[in-house]
Structure formats: C-alpha cells, structure tokens
Structure 1
Amino acid sequence: WFEPVNWTFQTNVSISSTYNFTDDSFLNTTMLLPFNKVIVIIHTIVFIVGFLGNTLAIYVMARYAKMNTATNIYVLNLAVADELYILGIPFIGTNSVLSYWPFGEAVCKISMTADAMSQFASTFSLTLMSIDRFLFVVYPVRSVKWRKPRLAKITSCIVWVVSFLIVLPVIIFSSVQEDFKTCNMSWPEPHDVWSAVFILYTSILSFFGPLIVVCLCYLFIVIKVRSARERAGLTRRRKSERKVTRMVVIIVLVFVLCWLPFYTTNIVNLIHIIPEHSMDIYFSVVILTYVNSCANPFLYAFLSKNFKESFQKVLCFQKANVARAAQVLQGRQNDTKVNHYPVFSYSICVQSFCIDYSCILGYCPQLTGCIGWLALDGPAC
C-alpha cells in the first residue's frame, strides 16, 4: 500500500505495492517496466531534492524563534513526515534494481511502518493546519488559547502516537514473503477480504476523512471572509495572516492533487482490476506522492515571507549585505583604536564560511551590522 517496495505483483492485494491478477503465469513474473531506468532517475532526483529541501525546512523552523508559531509548528511536523516518507526511496530503488527485498524481515517491518506513519502524519498535520486557520479566521479572539505554540507541539506529538496506533496492522502483518521474496502485507485468510478492508480503512482515515474536515474548515472561512468584506481595510497583521492562510490552502491543494490519483486508483482496483498493460499507471501515481513531499519545501519558500527570509539567512544568499556589514565592522574597529574599549570576538557567516571580526563591548548584542545574515554569536556578543 505504501510504497511499491518492488515491481512484482502478487495475488494478495495491498494498497499500492501488490495487485490481483487472474493470469497465474503472470504471478511469478517480475514486472520490468519499459521506462524502469526513467523511474530510477526520477526517484533519485526526488530523493535528493526532497531530502535536502525538507532538511533545510526542518532546520530553519527549529533554528529561528520567529518561526515558533502554531501554524509553523504544524508545518514543521509536515516537513518531518515528508522527510520520513522520502527516506523510503533508497529501499525502493534497491529493491527495484535487484527485483527482490535484500534487507531482511526487521527492516521490512520498520520500512513499511515508517512509510505508513509518515502518510498519516502528513494528512493529520495538514488537517491541523486547516483547523488552525479556521480558528484564527472564524474565532480570532476565543481561539488564542488554542493556538499557542506549546499546545501545537503537544498536538503534533499526539499526531505521531495516533498514526502509530492506526498502522498497527502494518506492524503485525508486514513481512518478507517467501514465494516472491518481497516486503509486503501477508494477510490471513480470506486474503481478498482483509486486503479490501485495509484499503478502505486506510483510504478513509488517511485521506477522504481528513479531506472532508479540511473542506468544511475552508467553507466556514470563505463564509466568514465574505461576511466581513464590508468592514474597513485590513490591518497589517490581518494581511499577514491572510497570506499564511493562502499558503496553507495551496499546500493542501497540492497535497490533494498529488494523492487523490493514488487513493482513487487503489479503490478503483478493488472494483475493476487494472490490466497488466496499464501498470505504468500505478508507478506514475506513486511517484506523484513522492513529488508532493519534494515540492512542499519550495511552497514554504515561495509562499511565506518568513520562510523565504529564513532560508536566505541559512544559505547566505543576501550578498548585498556583505558591503554594509564590512563597513559597520570597519567603523567599530576604528572606534576601538580611538577609544580603547575592550574588544571581544564574534563570527559572521559570509557566503557559507566564517570570518572572525571584533566588536566593542555593548555594540553588538544582536550583530546589527549583519541584518539578513546568519549570525553566529561569540561569547561576548
């Protein structure tokens, strides 16, 4: 269901990695796609970009205090879930090349469980982000106590606990199957019934159920916004929050576009088995789910000013500030020579490497000459 840990299709139906076929001769055949090399290349690109992007997003949100809001904590939770999902790609790639699962029973269970938990955690995080926007727009005053960062952190932890409990069937029934040497779900009899129930169970809890909640949240938001249109112009804070709402809406829409084909295909496959000559459909919809995890960090950067500025600080992209910082630092050094103030050292990040300067005591508690840069405070600063 979770990721296609192999390209071999078997008699027991799981959500994405295995499907039911009536042709017995086909069951023992490893399905090699015509564009298998293309899939490997795409997976490699998605893994590198997704891993680096989500790692950067996690670092930025954990590093900067201004990112410590309820919404951003839910975004951080989503980035962690995306990172965990992306980490499954190397196992898929290895299995795809070897045409069997070489990592053993324990890694099989861990991989399947982590993959399943990350999918549920992603959906639940998006749902919480939507509820957070609903509370802010519809109940801006009463919701203050429910939108505190501390409560958001507790709720995010609960998301992972609930996700773990929901995927207990994966922990119990995932194994390396002897007949096909694949990591998959080994259902008890009757196989078809267990598989169908599992597909519906996960589809409702992981996608369609949360999607209904999200749609209701934004329906009430639209109603509230329309009723308030006749009021005076928006304050600066309200404009900022509206941008945050727009970011959340776009992230949710991209999630739906990337995951709806996946869940729809799995449900359709229960009613009408997709023929083997159309198996590229499965691989396309699964790759699309990984693209979603890869795209989210870029959405954060393009849709949120705070994220964009924080990304720039980490990557030291604001080169225009180098000259300004140097001038300020030179002025401080001259003051040191004239006034003989005690000197203490600090470092400033310039184009990804550190240069040691000096600062006069009391002149640089916040490194004011380094606006827009990642400043690494020394002992005195």
Structure 2
Amino acid sequence: MITTSGLLEVPLLSHVHDSSKSNASLSYLQAVDLEGNHIKRIPAHALRGVRADQVSLNYNLIEEVPPHAFKNAQISKLSFRGNTKLRKLDPLAFAGNLLLRQLDLSDTSITSIPTKGLEKLEVLRIEKTPTLKYIPSIYEFQQLERAYLTHHFHCCAFAFPERHNPARHALYETQKAIMAQRCGHGNQKTTALTRKRRAMERLSPILLANTQVLDDDSTATTSEEYDSVANDDYFSDTGSFEYDDQGDFHAPVNNTSIQGVAYECGNFSLNPRKVECTPRSNALNPCEDVMGWSWLRASVWFVVAAAVVGNIAVLLVLLTNHTELTVPRFLMCHLAFSDLCTGLYLFMLAVVDLRSYGEFFNYAYDWQYGVGCKIAGFLSVFSGQLSVFTLTIVTLERWFAITYAIYLERRISLTAAAKIMIGGWLFSILMAGLPLAGVSDYSSTSICLPVESESVGVAVYQGSLFLTNAVAWVTIVVCYVQIYRSLGGGGEKYGGRGAAAAAERRIANKMALLIGTDLLCWAPVAFFGATALAGVPLVDVSHGKVLLVFFYPLNACANPFLYAILTKQYRRDLITLIARTGKCNWLVEKYKLAATPPPTAHTNPSAPAPLLPLVDYHRSQSQVTKENGEALL
C-alpha cells in the first residue's frame, strides 16, 4: 500500500514473484493499493506477472493504459476509478490477464473499452463516465453477470444484442446451432464425461471461441494468450492458483482427463444469457426508437409538411409584398417564423428516427449528447415561447383595434409593437438558453426536451414554462370574449336582423376555432407536464410522444391558416404577388371579378345617395365597426 504519497510512477512489482525463489509458485499479494498518488503512466513491465486479488490505481493522473500492461498477470479485481484524465485504453491493454473478474473504470474519460482479455469478466463498472460512446457486444463478455454503466442505452444494447451488433449475433446463432447439434447427439462417452465434470468443483468456464468451431478432441479457447500461457507455471497441476466465485484464490482442479467436447457441452445453454445492467430503461428513456410506433413515425411527416409549408408560404407572401408594413402584418411574420421553428424541430426528430430505425441505442450517444439535440431542444423551447408570446400580442392588438376602433390614437403603433417583440425574443432566447447553461438538460431524453426535474432550480424553470402558457391562454380567452361582446354578442343591437346574426355566428365560430386550437395545443402538454412536475407522472415518454406530434405542434400547423392563409388580406397579397410575376393572369382576372362588388348608388354618381335617419346612421356606423372586426378575425 502506497497511498496519497505523491508517487509519480507505478513501481516495478514483477520481481515479487521471481521464479528463482523456491516458493514463487505459492506467493501472491492480497492487494496492491496505489490510490491517491500522482501516477501518470504505467511502465511496460511494472505489473506483468503480478498475482494479486485486487489492484487499485484509483484517483491518479493516468492518461493511458499501454498494450499488454498486465500480461501473464493474475488479477481478480482491477480498478481505475477517479482517473479523470484517462482517455485511452489500448486495444491490447488487458490482453494476457486470464483471471480478471471485476473491472472498474468509473469516473474516467474513456470513449470505448477493449474486449481482449476481458472474456472472463463478471462485473463491469463504468459509472459517471459520460464520455463512453460505444459499448461492445454482450457476446464479447462471455461471462459478464453485472454491469454498472452511465448511459441507459448501453443497457438497451445488452438487452437487444441482435440489433446492437447484427453480424456478431448472426455468428453467435451459427455457433449455437452447431453446438446444439453436437451436444444434443453426443455419444455415451461425452455424456459420462459431462456428468463427471458437473460432480467436480466449479471450473472457470471456457465458452465458445469467437470465430472457431473446435473438433471433439480439442480444447475450447477464448483468447490467443491462453495458448501461450496454458502450460506455464500459472496453470500447472500443482502449485498455482485460480479464483473462486468471490474472487479469492483456490487450488485448481486437475482437469487433464476431461475432453474438450464435454467441457464445452457442460457450459453450453440454448437460453440467452441475461446481464443485470444499470441504469435500466425508464419512463424518460425507454428502449425504443425516437418515434416509438410505426404509425407515429408516418404521421410526423404530415405534421412537418403542414407546419413547414404553411409557414413558409405566409413568410414568402408577407415579406415579398411591397405594401406598407402594418402592425398585424409585422406580428404575423413573427408568428410564422416561430411556428416554422417548431416544424424544423419536428423535422430533425423525424430524420434522426428514420436514420436510426431499429437500432437507436447505437446512435443515441451522438444524438442526445451532440450538437443536434441541443439545437433541436433550443428550437423547441424558443419556438414555443415566442409563439405563445406573439399570439398573446396579436390578440391584444385585435382587442385594441376593435374596442377602440373610433380612437385611432389608441392603436398599437409599429414602433411599440417592435419594442414589445424585442422583449418577446429576449425572453424566448433566455428560456431556451437556460438548459444550455446547466438549468435542466436537453440530453435527458431522445426527444430533446427539458423534462427532468432533479433540483429545485430545474423545477422552478419548468414551472415557469407552464405558467407562461397558462397566463397567455387566459389572456387570449378574456380578450376574445371582450371582442365578441363589443361586436354585439348575438345580434341584439341589430334587432335580430338576419345579416347581423350571420355575421355574429361567423365571428363566434372563428373565435371558438382560435381558442380551441390554443386549448388543444397547450392544455394536454401543460396538464401532464404539471403532474410530472408534482411528482405524479401520468404518462411516460413513449405515450408522451403522441402529445409531441399531435398536440404540441397543433398551433404551428393551424396558425398560418387561421391567422393568414384563410384571410381576405392574405389572398389579396398573394394575388398581388402573382400579378407582379406576369404569370397565371387567368387567376388574377378571376380574383378581380370575384372581388368586384355589384354597382350600387354609392358606386354610381348619377344616382343620388338616399338620406338615412339618425338612428339608421348610428346603426350603419356600428355595422362598419363590426365588419372591421370580422375582417381582423
């Protein structure tokens, strides 16, 4: 034990088992503890040939493990925990160590792990190591029983080896079929030898070789090193040591009389091997693709098409029109841009789902911890907040325009609207940028939303998102109710006339549609989000993806049609744009004929305009206000 002593290099320990000593074959170390020093490198021969129950190199400054660093060593437990600078493990770093049962690489910076020399590994610990990108196939760890990892998708890879590494799984299936045929039709000699083996003490199992099928009179091997050291002092019939189930030394059993076939068949099983792996898949990270269901995978493309095409059409017409920029047109541009960002977010998810179909856990690291997921998450939160803010301002602007129709000085000016939207952009960028700064995390799920609430700060952040949507929706409902009341509330002001009643119904239907789409978009997401925030989640991520595809982007799909494309002003701007191109003249002429009103006394100067009573004059003024309100809606 040389701990916290400023040691700069692993001392040469191979001489501890010098072959010149008479009792060298019996000597072994219980532990080699070099924890808490300043070790930066492992010399090539420092730990070769060492026999020890456990070797601890924890909390040092090791940056790399060289090839064959433990060649011909007998080490049961090896730990590199806390070497935060350890980034590289040579593919042959553990080659030659035939008895390694437990390996701890937790709290390091490795990106991959080798498999050579880890065939007998039973316990693997790689916790608090977010840099680990790829985990080898479970077939490379032939005796692995427990794995404590950092990422849930690595456990998913162990659970679905046929998807994780199809080529290795196909090889395993071929080998299994051959072994089933051999062991199922073995002769009496093989059966007797198998029973004899089972009656003996447990030997270290040697499973099927990676690419080799052995003959009946051969011995199964698992690594090249076994051929080179199987006959040396470490595995001789007398004087050497092996490990039992607890990782301690014991005298080996003489197995020279057991043939290879009996040895293989005694360890052969048709049942798939299960590994106890953590962290297991949970409600936030199930072992499934990004979209989960096939019908959801197909539906998302329709949603993306509606959101992207609709909002691009609105922006194209509004930005290319050379007429005077008004407040409604200015606000519509911001609303279309925010909804377009939502469509782009869903498009990114759809592309990743299509690319990683059937094997997402092989792409999960690059997606969830890469730039792509951060961009998608930022777009999602930014577009949601900016869309909610803009919808609220649009509603307030309509309420001002209709309620104070006579008082032009009370309208929202373009300068005031610009200042308000600057505030909305800053607020939206702030809320979308907080997860990038460490408040919550976009990498917690495959859909890149900040859904985990592990601390009070994160809970406050998520609660503010829900509160913003709630306040916005209440404001929109109140404003539209006030607008409806100011426009007559049912036609009573017009004596129940048919035209007025029809106008009221059209306005009421439009308001109900606007409020209804907002409610369908925000209410389900807010409700299930609030329950999850309160610690009582009613829906997991698998089912929450339905909310993501069908409810969350509802406004992004409906807003360009409800607020722009289906309005008379948009159609007028579109026809103007088409007329400037000089094409589709028939469509322009058709629109002019449909939009030209029939001649009346007001349009014909020769016919004098009839005088209206004072009461009818006030009614006509109210009707104009009402028509203006209908046009705005």
Provide the TM-score with structure 2 as the length reference: 0.41
- Listed as ranges, the gaps of 5+ residues in structure 1 are 1-7, 11-22, 317-345, 353-367, 374-381
The answer to whether the Cα contact below 8 Å between 2:290 and 2:447 also exists between their aligned partners in 1 is no
Q: How does 1:88-127 map to 2 (within 5 A)?
A: 88-97=345-354, 98=356, 99=360, 100=364, 102=366, 105-127=370-392
What is residue 209 of structure 1 aligned with on the other side? Answer: 471
Displacement of 1:58: 0.8
Q: How does 1:207-356 map to 2 (within 5 A)?
A: 207-226=469-488, 230=493, 250-271=513-534, 272-274=536-538, 280-288=542-550, 289-300=552-563, 303-311=566-574, 348-350=582-584
Displacement of 1:203: 0.4
Work out whether 1:199 is the aligned partner of 2:462. Answer: yes
- One of 299, 302, 308 as aligned partner of 1:45: 302
Displacement of 1:65: 4.6
SS in 2 for 1:78: helix
From the CA coordinates, give the structure whose radius of gyration is larger: 2
Opposite residue 210 of structure 1, the aligned amino acid is A
Higher helix share: 1
Shift in CA distance, 294/9, structure 1 to aligned 2, threshold 3 Å: farther
The answer to whether the Cα contact below 8 Å between 1:126 and 1:252 also exists between their aligned partners in 2 is no
Provide the TM-score with structure 1 as the length reference: 0.64
What is residue 342 of structure 2 aligned with on the other side? Answer: 85
The answer to whether the Cα contact below 8 Å between 2:338 and 2:386 also exists between their aligned partners in 1 is yes
Shift in CA distance, 176/269, structure 1 to aligned 2, threshold 3 Å: closer
Displacement of 1:29: 4.6
Cα separation, 1, equivalents of 2:523 and 2:323: 34
Deviations, residues 308-339 of structure 1 (Å, cap 9, x unaligned) = 343455578xxxxxxxxxxxxxxxxxxxxxxx
What is residue 424 of structure 2 aligned with on the other side? Answer: 159
- One of 129, 144, 167 as aligned partner of 2:394: 129
Shift in CA distance, 64/212, structure 1 to aligned 2, threshold 3 Å: same
Shift in CA distance, 240/311, structure 1 to aligned 2, threshold 3 Å: farther
Cα separation, 2, equivalents of 1:159 and 1:242: 33
Work out whether 1:26 is the aligned partner of 2:281. Answer: yes
Shift in CA distance, 283/150, structure 1 to aligned 2, threshold 3 Å: same
Q: How does 1:10-21 map to 2 (within 5 A)?
A: none
The answer to whether the Cα contact below 8 Å between 2:442 and 2:448 also exists between their aligned partners in 1 is yes
Count of residues in correspondence between the two structures: 301
The answer to whether the Cα contact below 8 Å between 1:77 and 1:125 also exists between their aligned partners in 2 is yes
Cα separation, 1, equivalents of 2:539 and 2:506: 45
Deviations, residues 70-113 of structure 1 (Å, cap 9, x unaligned) = 22322221111000111112321244343225356444333322
SS in 2 for 1:26: coil
Opposite residue 382 of structure 2, the aligned amino acid is M
The answer to whether the Cα contact below 8 Å between 1:61 and 1:68 also exists between their aligned partners in 2 is no
Cα separation, 1, equivalents of 2:504 and 2:420: 21
Displacement of 1:290: 1.9
Opposite residue 62 of structure 1, the aligned amino acid is L
Cα separation, 2, equivalents of 1:241 and 1:117: 36
Higher deviation after alignment, 70-79 or 218-227? 218-227
